Amino acid sequence: MPDTRIILSAKRCYLESARFDRSGLKGRVATASFEAIDNGFIGARRSWSASASVLRTRGMITPECEVQIKLVERFGRYIANTDMHFGNLSFFWERLAGTLSLSFAPIYDMLPMLYAPEKSEIVERAFKPPQGAGDDIAAELARQFWSGVAARDDVSALFRGIAAANSALLVDR
């Protein structure tokens, strides 16, 4: 988990985190976005899960990595992340014996984008959780996420209410 800090201004709250693709003062860690990987080796960009299955079939990721990607994709849908494009997921990469090996980089930009302001204005939106998978661990993790947001005093009362309602939508899925 990278070092993080919250920065508050008069109108905004920011979460700053240390970059995972850096080493020391000037070093870089070999990373590539899912967009670059999909464009270079698959060319479909259908969904994170579909592309992960292709990468696993080709031996570029492990079965465990495929499971992680599918879990993160489902979790994102359960927390109303409407901005899960292929640029928002990355891999560490290395060449081993002439073969490209990918491993899952830390998650970033995973937040309930459904509620992002438009032109600095809050727009009321209704969350409709995905259907299916009642025993899905992603749904339980998302319920815990929403419950945690609902319990924070540094979140506005309005959004705490939204979070509590969203948590309730995920009970017994």
Which sequence positions are flagged as catalytic? Answer: 83
Which run of H or E residues covers position 3? none
Identify the CA nearest to 30 among candidates 126, 100, 119.
Answer: 100
Supply the Cα-derived Rg of the chain in whole angstroms. Answer: 18
Between CA 146 and CA 75 the distance in angstroms is 11
Cβ–Cβ < 8 Å for 117, 159: no
